[in-house]
Amino acid sequence: MSTPAASAPPASAEVVASALAGAGYLADDASALVCFLAQRLGKPVLVEGPAGVGKTELAKATARATGRPLVRLQCYEGLDEAKALYEWNYRKQLLRIQAGGDDRDGWSSVHDDIFAEEFLLARPLLQAIASPEPVVLLIDEIDKTDQEFEAMLLEVLSEFQISIPELGPIAARSEPIVFLTSNNARELTEALKRRCLYLWIDYPDLERELEIVRLHTPEMDERLARRMLEVVHEIRALDLHKAPSIAESIDWARTLLLIGAQDIDRETFTKTLGILIKHQTDLELVAQRVGVSLEARSRLGVDGK
Amino acid sequence: MSPGPGPFGSVPEAGPPGLTARLLELVGALREEGLRVGTSEILDALEATSSVTWSSETAFREALAATLAKSPEDRRVFDLVFGRFFFRAAEAEAIRQDLAATEAEAGATPGDEQDIDLEALAQAVREAVAEGTDPQMRDLARLAVAALGRQGEGVGVVGVDVQRIRRALGLQTHAGRRDDEPDPDEGPTLDRESINAFERHLRRELERRLIERTGTLPPARPLADLDRALPSNPAQDLAAVHRSVKMLKRRLATVGHEHRGRRHSSVVDVRRTMRTALETGGVPLRLRYRPRRPRRPEIFVLCDVSTSVTSASLFFLSVLHALHDAFRKLRSFVFIERISEVTEVFARERDFTEISRKISSDGGVADVSGYTDYGRVWLEFGEQVARDLGPRSTIIVLGDARTNGRAPHAPALGAVTARAGRTFWLNPEPRLYWNYGDSVISAYEPFVDGVFECWTTQHLEQFVGLLAGQAPEPQPR
């Protein structure tokens, strides 16, 4: 479905922010602004940041907010154009050749025929480009691919077209909103970065994360949610293999709701720690550091009353 | 700042009016700080700024940042340059319109100093810093400068004044007692970041006063390198060091992979090609290639852990830690006066803090005087380890080459490096300080394949790229 909002670029960053909020994503100023600019300038957005801060979710939310379908290309090492752009359907081509191979002058017709769009298997990038209605294209974890693949993306990202040697360039029928996400596992090439708007998303501050968590678990008591996030932030400040992501704090909130915890004392904390921390060494460190401070704090709380 | 007015000595010219000119000046300043900003990006920036409201500083800054600064490091530099640039632009404008005089009068007169209750001020500052509210910190910085600024004194050494004021206010990080539990009696602990923020306000305020007093802008200085990205800065948290090394570790893990494309002299895998060909009726339409094995270099790392590189060695140790995860064939040594192998320690311990504790306490570093003796280190290394070296091995030395006046024994190093395939030296000091004092890096330089300064993660990354095989390989297959 193509709503009017999908075709016309939004008027301001605030409009984008509220649209995203409507889609269940609370964007900070920078994210909303960059999304707005992306739609305004028609440029792809390169989103970087630690794992689990909502990079992919931003693209999904944009798709929901603009009512566009989402086309996703998950990158991995060794991804090549056959899986990202297009592929010739060899079997079908072969069948076509064999079917027409009997009569004498068949070849001349076949040989023009087998490189037609009919025999093309569209992969995500071609899908996004060729789609008659505008889409949101998400190229996830671009840093996992090879540099050659990046170079291949350049044409798609700057011209919104794909050149197929046998067919010539296929231009976009509609302008997609493109998001590229990266975990910064390797430095992306200058050429790619130059064509993108850059957005760095970091862990949100406490107040914003509180809003996010309460958006997802509205039944949760605000005081408890705040208390929980204080602990999460304390954990993030530690030197861990993997800091808890936003998704994990939401999971934790849900768990706390489920077990009906009223307060985060040491026992509930250690019981539910596995939801936040997924590394053995991290577990030990957190149990040791945060467990102790939790005890101190609850003692303080009692004294305060 | 090539497109704009030159370094400000006196009251600057206004330059051509309009946003485009300002933006070009800003880009000039950014380029001077090492950001690679292309013309197409300037065009993007202009287009972006024309789609946002200029009344909001955040919107304006974010729009520029999204188009001009394309990595977290660049973003940090961008924020610094952006702040400095518009601060200077505003001050230059103020001087031109002669607004300064009245404001300077209204500022602190010597009489003010007694009027402000220091205790209350320090308390208020501590609260503001703990809460991290920006406007409040700015106001308090202004107040603190008024109270403690001591006009006329310390002209031009803003940094010294900042430290003095900070100390007078009793702002201390909890870095010193990080192992202790947070003590409820000591009030909120202040983290490094917010104190830094407060210091930035102080600095800004002091600079503003200086400009008001003298009526001129000081010459535009490049950003102090320490401001930019420095994990070896002792003031920074260990966690910050580790974060950057963690990123490096991931890059190390993938390094070389991106060069494994099939363009480079790949070998066709006949079995797999024929097997895929079955799908297409035995016609080999698609070739399959044999995967290339990444090179596994043998690395020997020697790390100076003496006091002259205390701050850097923390950084280096964590680098070593990261290297150990990435390269299987790695032997590491630490040295001060003598050398000792710590490969075992790294292999046994997973936790970095534990490692650094072990190394500093019972790592076996024969540390008689606490002064580095590079000459002796080479001799010992030659005796104990040199026979394990081969053309495949790479030696990496992490140290400042400060021998404390002892004999450098450069030929001994030469004998060692002659046996190894490659030798690199990473020096934690900026190139400017090399060969000053007791640094004898130039004596060692002829014997190694490369000497690199290495005091930011960026330097390190460049080096890692080199190590992982972008450089020509002397070793035959």
**Stretch A234-254: mean pLDDT:** 84
Residues counted in chain A: 305
Q: Decide if A186 and B254 are in contact by the 8 Å CB cutoff.
A: yes
Tokens of residue B262, six digits: 């099939």
Query: From chain A, which residues contact B within 8 Å (Cβ)?
Result: 12-13, 29-30, 33-34, 36-37, 40-41, 43, 46, 48, 77, 90-91, 94, 143, 146-148, 183-187, 190, 193-200, 237-239, 281, 285, 292-293, 296, 300
Q: What is the CA radius of gyration of chain B?
A: 28
Nearest-angstrom CA–CA distance, B216 and B12: 9
- For each of chain B's 477 residues, which pLDDT tens digit applies? 334 444 444 444 455 667 888 888 889 888 887 788 888 899 989 888 888 877 777 888 888 999 988 887 788 788 888 887 887 777 777 777 765 444 444 444 444 444 556 777 777 777 777 766 666 777 777 777 776 655 445 445 666 677 777 777 776 654 444 344 444 444 445 666 677 777 777 777 777 777 666 666 555 555 554 444 444 443 344 555 555 666 665 555 555 444 444 455 578 888 888 888 888 888 888 888 877 665 556 778 888 877 666 666 666 777 777 667 666 677 888 888 778 888 777 777 666 666 666 766 655 554 555 677 888 888 888 888 888 887 777 888 888 888 878 888 888 888 888 888 778 888 877 788 788 778 888 888 888 888 888 776 667 767 766 665 544 333 333
Report the pLDDT value the prediction gives residue A5, as an integer from 0 to 100: 43
SS3 A298: helix
**Cβ neighbour number for residue B281 with a 10 Å cutoff:** 13
* Closest-approach residue (CA) in chain B for A284: B351
Q: Decide if B258 and A194 are in contact by the 8 Å CB cutoff.
A: no
The distance from CA B221 to its chain's CA centroid, rounded to whole angstroms, is: 18
SS3 B438: coil
* Closest-approach residue (CA) in chain B for A89: B280
For A271, the enclosing helix (H) or strand (E) is helix A266-276
Q: Decide if A34 and B285 are in contact by the 8 Å CB cutoff.
A: no
**Stretch A97-126: mean pLDDT:** 75
For residue A193, the distance in angstroms to the closest alpha carbon of chain B comes to 6
The DSSP bridge pattern shows strands B422-427 and B330-335 to be unpaired
Q: Decide if A281 and B51 are in contact by the 8 Å CB cutoff.
A: no
Query: Helices marked H in B52-177 — which ranges?
Result: 57-68, 72-96, 100-106, 112-115, 118-131, 134-148, 158-168
Q: Decide if A36 and B51 are in contact by the 8 Å CB cutoff.
A: yes
* Residue A178 binned pLDDT confidence (cut-offs 50, 70, 90): very high
For residue B72, the distance in angstroms to the closest alpha carbon of chain A comes to 7
The answer to whether residue B263 neighbours chain A at the CB level (below 8 Å) is yes
Report the pLDDT value the prediction gives residue B105, as an integer from 0 to 100: 46
Q: Decide if B181 and A30 are in contact by the 8 Å CB cutoff.
A: no
- Cα-based distances in Å from B404 to A294, B21, B372: 49, 52, 7
The answer to whether residue B325 neighbours chain A at the CB level (below 8 Å) is no
B466 touches B396 (CB < 8 A)? no
ipTM of the prediction = 0.80
SS3 A139: strand
Q: What residues in A contact B260, CB-CB < 8 Å?
A: 146
Instruction: Give yes or no for residue A116 having a pLDDT over 50.
Output: yes
Beta-carbon contacts of B360 under 8 Å, excluding residues fewer than 6 positions away, are B305
Query: Tens digit of pLDDT for each residue in A182-220?
Result: 987 777 888 888 889 999 888 888 888 888 888 888 888
Beta-carbon contacts of B408 under 8 Å, excluding residues fewer than 6 positions away, are B374, B375, B401, B440, B443, B444
Pick from B66, B258, B461: CB nearest A34: B66
Tokens of residue A200, six digits: 């760095």
